[in-house]
Structures are given as structure tokens and as C-alpha cells.
Chains A and B, each alone.
Chain A
Amino acid sequence: MFSAEAKPLLHSAAWRISAWATLAYACGTLAVFLSLHLYVSRDIERRNDAWLAGEVEVLGDVAERTPRDSLYQRVVEEVAELASREVPNRQPNDSPAQDSVFFLETDPASHQLIWVGPGSGAPFLDALHRVSAKNDQPFTLNAHGYKISYRVVMTHIDGGSSIFLGLSDRDQLRVLRQFRLRFAMLWGLLVLFGTTIVFYTTKRMLNRVRDITEAAEHIDQSDLSARVPASQRKDEIGQLAHTLNRMLDRIQAAMHQLHTITGSLSHDLRSPLTAIRGNLELSLTAASETSRQEAIIVCIEELDRLNDFLNTSLDVAEARADALRLDVEPIDMSAMLRSMIELYEPSMAEHGLTLRFDCSESVRIAGDLALLHRLFANLFNNEIVHLPTGCTVLVRLRQAPGVVQFHMEDNGPGFPQEVLDHIFEQRVKGTGSKGHGLGLAFVDAVVRAHGGSAQVSNSPQGGARIFLTISTHSSQ
């Protein structure tokens, strides 16, 4: 016995499912982010390089055109200053690009001529000496003392001087950092949200499974009446509950059947056994040969009845368990009924009953001849045993699409009301009936095994009315 409380959450299937779902979900979104990140950082670098290339060209132009006088340095400084304000990805609240851009002009001997940028140009000049820059090819420069690298473009101008324009990666890194930060927050929220949803949906679903399990545990041999909770939903769990309940219905019916049978079997077996035993004892001590023979004859008759009862009981039980084996063959129902009536008619006449048969067409079905014989024998027997003298029995056989309809009606007293409600249950019989109460249960079982149905009612005039349909093509 377990319950949700006794079961640690970490061991529940809901937890496992949501953990795995989360993992898959997180990995997927992370992969998407990484590729996006790569794309964005490359794009920023490309834009930076394009900006650098454009600006260095303008600066080169300005440097070439401006005469080398005292104003030269100021003009170039001014232009470089202006250019730095147009830095891509620049934050508006930044102080004028003190450290995000540097401008450096060197003479042919690589000595610093003009430096516009953070601090002194010396660490940059040192760093530039260590790399071999190509004309107009952007490259990354790591200057000593500066944590953040610079993207640099160089161009040669007339007179052998070189112009270097550098752009700090700071802004790019900041953009990317923010990108990552926002993603991380969103990602965290998404994963948390997704996990919660998956966890609660699976938990709700599995709670239904748990309810079924708990209900199933309450169902034991002593009490089969409980049913697992079945929701209206037609999903897999709903189907599971439905299937379980149907299975339980069948088991309960079978158990009920078994109890009824064992209960009444002892009665039905004990009385003939007592009669047989008594008669046999009588035959041992009988005074005359005639009474001895009479006792033995009674025994044989009782045994025949007992055997018949046993066979019918087993047939009904088998049919109820859907285990009645049909030996299917083509049957002309009208011919079969005619010969049955021929067999029973004299016996009915003997009891003062009239039989009318109405069957216009030849009615063909596929079914088990022996079982159908016994079915109709049962019905005719019932009429003979229960109808008072002078009654008329009407038998009608009709062919309908896919089924054969058999209709039997009499003008007798009909079924007692208390019997009518449970007419097809085993062992139901009217008070004072001498039968075993198996007859109509057997009829119902055989008809159902033939893919048909049986209906029993009293006619408005009060007589008994039996209506059977039998499939023309038995499924078995």
C-alpha cells in the first residue's frame, strides 16, 4: 500500500519526465542561443571593420590634403575626435570617446607623430611594432596595460607616413554581454516555466493513474463491486480506466455466476442424488421383482435428468464466459423449425395446445445446428410445461437484412412480473416451476453466441412473448 505522500517526489514519474523534458528543452534553446550569439558577434565585428575602413580612408584623405603646418595636428585631431563620436554600438551616456577610439599617425620610421586616444600612444606603438600590419586589413591589437583589445586598420599616406585607426572592442563586448545576460534571464524563466508546466501536467495525468492503481488495490476477491475512476476524457488513461472497468465487469459477472452456480448446484444435485441412493437401497430390499425394477428405472431416469442438467449448466456457464464453441454450418432455419415443430406438435396436442407456424420464405443462416436444436427444444418445452390446456402458440420466422427474426407468442398467463425482470439470469424461475431455471439463460446464451439478441415480454393480452434475432452469418 502506498500513497502520494509516502512516495518521495523525486521518485515520481512526473518528476523524471519533467526533468528530462527540461534538459532537452534547455539544451535546445541553449544551442539556438549559441548560434545566434556567434552570428551577432560576427556581424558586429563586420560592421566595426567596415566603419574602421571607411573612417581610416576619410582620415587618410584629410591627412593628405591638409598642409603640414602648425594647424595640421589640430585639424587631424579634430577630425579623429569627430569620427570617434560616430562609433558604432556606442552608448549615449558615454563620455566622448576617450578610450573607445584611438588615432595614430607615424612617420616612415614608425615614430609617433600624432596620437589621439586614451593615455599615451606608447603601449599601442609597442604593440603595433609586434604585429605586421597590412594596408587596409583590419586586425586585433592587444596593447600592454589595456584589458580590452582593439580592432585596428592601417593605411599608408603620401610621404611614407601611416595612419592607424583603432576601435575598442569594449562596446561590442558590452553588447554581447548584455545579450547574454538577457538571454540567461529569459532562459532561466522559460526553463522554470516549461518545467513547471510539464511537471504539473504529467503529475495531474499520473495522479489519474495513481487513482486507478489505488482503486484497483481496493478491489479484491471479497469486493469486486468497486470500479476505478473513469473520466469523460477519451485519452489513453481514460481508455485504460474504461478497459479495466469492463474487465472488472466481466470478472464480477463470472464470480457472481460461480457463486450462484455453486450455491444452487448443491441443491440441484442433492435431491436427485438422494432419490437415486434411496431407490437403489430400495431395490436391494424390495420384496417383489416389479418394485425392484421400478426402483432401478427411477434411478436411470433421475440420472438422465441429472446429466441433462449438468450439460445445460455447463453450456450456460461457457456461454456466459463467451467460451461457447460454435460448430458453424449452413442451416435452413425454416426447414429446421418445421422438423422441430413436427417433433413437438404431438406432445403439445397431448397437452391441449395448438401450434401455428408462419414462415413464408426459406431462411438460411450459418450456425451451430445442435445448439439451435436445443434452444428451440427449450422454448417448446417451456410452452408445454407452463401453458394451461387450450392455449395457442404462434411461431413466426422472418428474414430481415443480416438477421433472422424468430417470434413466439402464446395466449397463456405470461411470465410472472418478478421473473420478467431477471429472465435471462441463471436459476431464475417462477415460483412453483419445476425447471432448473436454466432454460431462458441457455436460450439467451446461444442466441448471443450467434451474434443475436433475445427479448422476453408479456403481450398486451397477457401472453408470453419471445423475440429472438440471430445473425445470418455467425461471427464464430
Chain B
Amino acid sequence: MRILLVEDDIPIQEFLRPALEEAGYEVDVAGDGKTAAEFSAANAYRVLIVDLGLPDADGLDVIEQLRSAGQLAPVLILSARRSVDDRVRGLEQGGDDYLTKPFALAELLARLRNLLRRGNATSVAAEPTRLQVDDLELDLLRRQATRSGESLQLTQQEFVLLEFLCRNRGRVVTRSMILEQVWGMRFQPDTNVVDVHIYRLRGKVDGKNQPPLIRTLRGVGYVLGGS
């Protein structure tokens, strides 16, 4: 899967390229808007990662140029600005996404996957009604979870949290990703609010004699299953 990274900052290029390649993407890197336009015209990309602060142009203008040149792939915007301005918000509503620097690599990869999934209209139709990770089963219609056939007593919030973890099985999710997806809040939590929810959920999901499903990756976030 080929993606175009438009980013002028060399240190960020240097860590993003191998990280994306390790995640299975084929990466082209453009350091400015002009190169980005050339790359975009020459190759077919599934998704674009565009930094807003480019040396020769504003990132949003570059996106508009690429769009008017026929580039249809979704864009993940990287912004160093804290408050996201209206133009970025407009693009977000148009199906693209944004991420403010500094970001967790896990979050970047998760957002990329989301963009790719949105691009695949076919997968939306095949939305599953059941999720299964090892011996954990989630019935999305009846909002019930079972582990090894035993029903788990989860609150509605805990079910949503578990569902989010299951949908990202084997992948790292960060605290801010959980906060955004489960509670609809986009901020960096100061204290261990999210951790406490995870501990409680883990207490219910991972029983005494069962192998733990929810693992903590300190400094990064959590992973469910897929050891």
C-alpha cells in the first residue's frame, strides 16, 4: 500500500519513513509542495500525510492543489498549531483527518488505518455484528460480552471501551485515542483517569485463572490480545 508523506522536517521524515515501512506501507517522501505535486501526478497513493508547515507553501494550499489536480486519496494532516483552524475542520468533515504534533506513533498508524477503511466503501457493508478475540466474544447487537462462554457484567461504558479495544486487537491504542473514541473528548488527560477504567475492565475481563488479554505498554498505551 503506497502512501505519500509530505513533510519538510528531516528528523520527522527520518523516524516516520521506517515506522511506516515497518507497518507495511510503501512510503514516498516529498519535502515541499512542488515535489508533492510531482509525486502525486506520477504515482497512485492510497493515503497522503501532509504537514501544514511547508517551506514553499501552506500545507492546506498544497492539499487544494493536489485535489484540483485530481488526487482523491484521503489526507492525514499534521499540524504544529494547537488550535485547529476552520479550514482544517472543513477538511476533516470532508473525510480527511488531522493530528497535532507531537503525536504518538500508535495514534498516527490508527488514524491511517481509519482513513484507509473509510476509503474502502465495501468493508462498511460487511460491518460485523460479533467480535471475537481468543475466547472473548462481543455481541454488538445485544451489547453482551462473554469470556470462555461466561457472561461478563459490563456497564455500557465498559462495553464501548472493550469494543474499541477489540476492534483494534493486537494494536497499540493510546490514552488519548481511547478518550476520543470512547468518551468523545479530545485532550491529554493529566491523571490516570483512563488507566483506572482499563484496570476496572481488566478486572472483569481477565479473571484469576485466565491468561491476561489486556496488556499495558507503559509510556504508550494498551493492547488487547495478539501477543
Within 8 A of A (CB), among B112-165: 157
List B contacts of A347 (CB < 8 A).
Answer: 191-193, 196
CB distance from B41 to the nearest CB of A (A): 35
List A contacts of B86 (CB < 8 A).
Answer: 327
Contact A311–B188 (Cβ < 8 Å) = yes
Within 8 A of A (CB), among B70-128: 82-83, 85-86, 89, 102
List A contacts of B188 (CB < 8 A).
Answer: 304, 307-308, 311
Q: Mark A334-346, 1 if CB is under 8 A from B, else 0.
A: 0000011011101
Bound form: Cα–Cα A315–B102 in Å? 16
Within 8 A of B (CB), among A54-97: none
List B contacts of A314 (CB < 8 A).
Answer: 82
Contact B196–A350 (Cβ < 8 Å) = yes
List B contacts of A315 (CB < 8 A).
Answer: 82
CB closest chain-B residue, reference A378: B190
Cβ-defined partner of B186 (8 Å) among A340, A373, A384: A373
List B contacts of A308 (CB < 8 A).
Answer: 188, 190
Bound form: Cα–Cα A51–B220 in Å? 121
Does residue B218 face the partner (Cβ distance < 8 Å to A)? Answer: yes
Does residue A13 face the partner (Cβ distance < 8 Å to B)? Answer: no
**Residue of A299, A350, A381 with most partner-chain B CB within 10 A:** A350
Contact A297–B102 (Cβ < 8 Å) = no
CB closest chain-A residue, reference B82: A311
List A contacts of B189 (CB < 8 A).
Answer: 377
Contact A297–B193 (Cβ < 8 Å) = no
CB closest chain-A residue, reference B192: A347
List A contacts of B187 (CB < 8 A).
Answer: 370, 373-374, 377
List A contacts of B102 (CB < 8 A).
Answer: 303, 307
CB distance from A387 to the nearest CB of B (A): 12
Contact B185–A373 (Cβ < 8 Å) = yes
Does residue B24 face the partner (Cβ distance < 8 Å to A)? Answer: no
Contact A343–B190 (Cβ < 8 Å) = no
Does residue B197 face the partner (Cβ distance < 8 Å to A)? Answer: yes
Bound form: Cα–Cα A132–B216 in Å? 134
Contact B196–A346 (Cβ < 8 Å) = yes
Cβ-defined partner of A297 (8 Å) among B82, B191, B197, B218: B218
List A contacts of B220 (CB < 8 A).
Answer: 300
CB closest chain-B residue, reference A308: B188
Number of B interface residues in the complex (CB < 8 A)? 25
Does residue B184 face the partner (Cβ distance < 8 Å to A)? Answer: yes
List A contacts of B200 (CB < 8 A).
Answer: 346
Contact A381–B82 (Cβ < 8 Å) = no
Does residue B11 face the partner (Cβ distance < 8 Å to A)? Answer: no
List B contacts of A418 (CB < 8 A).
Answer: none
Does residue A385 face the partner (Cβ distance < 8 Å to B)? Answer: yes
Q: Mark B162-183, 1 if CB is under 8 A from A, else 0.
A: 0000000000000000010001
Does residue B211 face the partner (Cβ distance < 8 Å to A)? Answer: no
Contact B184–A370 (Cβ < 8 Å) = no
List B contacts of A356 (CB < 8 A).
Answer: none
Total of A-B residue pairs, C-beta within 8 Å? 61
List B contacts of A297 (CB < 8 A).
Answer: 218-219
CB distance from A357 to the nearest CB of B (A): 15
Known A307-B188, A350-B196; judge A339-B183 contact (CB<8 A): yes
Contact A343–B183 (Cβ < 8 Å) = yes
Contact A344–B193 (Cβ < 8 Å) = yes
Number of A interface residues in the complex (CB < 8 A)? 31
List A contacts of B186 (CB < 8 A).
Answer: 370, 373
CB distance from B123 to the nearest CB of A (A): 29
Known A327-B89, A342-B157, A343-B193; judge A296-B219 contact (CB<8 A): yes
List B contacts of A45 (CB < 8 A).
Answer: none
List B contacts of A42 (CB < 8 A).
Answer: none
Bound form: Cα–Cα A315–B85 in Å? 15
List A contacts of B192 (CB < 8 A).
Answer: 347
CB distance from A28 to the nearest CB of B (A): 60
CB closest chain-A residue, reference B85: A325
List B contacts of A303 (CB < 8 A).
Answer: 102
List B contacts of A281 (CB < 8 A).
Answer: none
Does residue A301 face the partner (Cβ distance < 8 Å to B)? Answer: yes
Within 8 A of B (CB), among A349-399: 350, 370, 373-374, 377-378, 381, 384-385
CB distance from B17 to the nearest CB of A (A): 21
List B contacts of A350 (CB < 8 A).
Answer: 196
Cβ-defined partner of A346 (8 Å) among B89, B190, B197: B197
Q: Mark A246-289, 1 if CB is under 8 A from B, else 0.
A: 00000000000000000000000000000000000000000000
Bound form: Cα–Cα A134–B86 in Å? 99
Bound form: Cα–Cα A298–B218 in Å? 9
List A contacts of B191 (CB < 8 A).
Answer: 347, 381, 384-385
Bound form: Cα–Cα A381–B179 in Å? 15
List A contacts of B157 (CB < 8 A).
Answer: 342
Bound form: Cα–Cα A381–B194 in Å? 13
List B contacts of A385 (CB < 8 A).
Answer: 191
Bound form: Cα–Cα A378–B86 in Å? 26
Contact A325–B83 (Cβ < 8 Å) = yes
Bound form: Cα–Cα A234–B200 in Å? 65
**Residue of B83, B102, B186, B200 with most partner-chain A CB within 10 A:** B83
CB distance from A12 to the nearest CB of B (A): 51
CB closest chain-A residue, reference B188: A308
Bound form: Cα–Cα A303–B188 in Å? 12
Contact B190–A381 (Cβ < 8 Å) = yes
Q: Mark A381-422, 1 if CB is under 8 A from B, else 0.
A: 100110000000000000000000000000000000000000
CB closest chain-B residue, reference A368: B83
List A contacts of B219 (CB < 8 A).
Answer: 296-301
Bound form: Cα–Cα A340–B102 in Å? 25
CB distance from A228 to the nearest CB of B (A): 36
List B contacts of A373 (CB < 8 A).
Answer: 185-187
Q: List 11 A-B pairs, Cβ < 8 Å.
A: A300-B219, A314-B82, A327-B89, A339-B184, A340-B185, A346-B196, A350-B196, A370-B187, A377-B189, A377-B190, A377-B193
Interface residues of A (CB under 8 A from B): 296-301, 303-304, 307-308, 311, 314-315, 325, 327, 339-340, 342-344, 346-347, 350, 370, 373-374, 377-378, 381, 384-385
5 more contacts with CB within 8 A, not counting A298-B219, A339-B184, A377-B187, are A297-B219, A303-B102, A311-B188, A344-B193, A377-B193
**5 nearest A-B pairs in the assembled complex, by CB-CB distance:** A297-B219, A300-B219, A346-B196, A347-B196, A297-B218
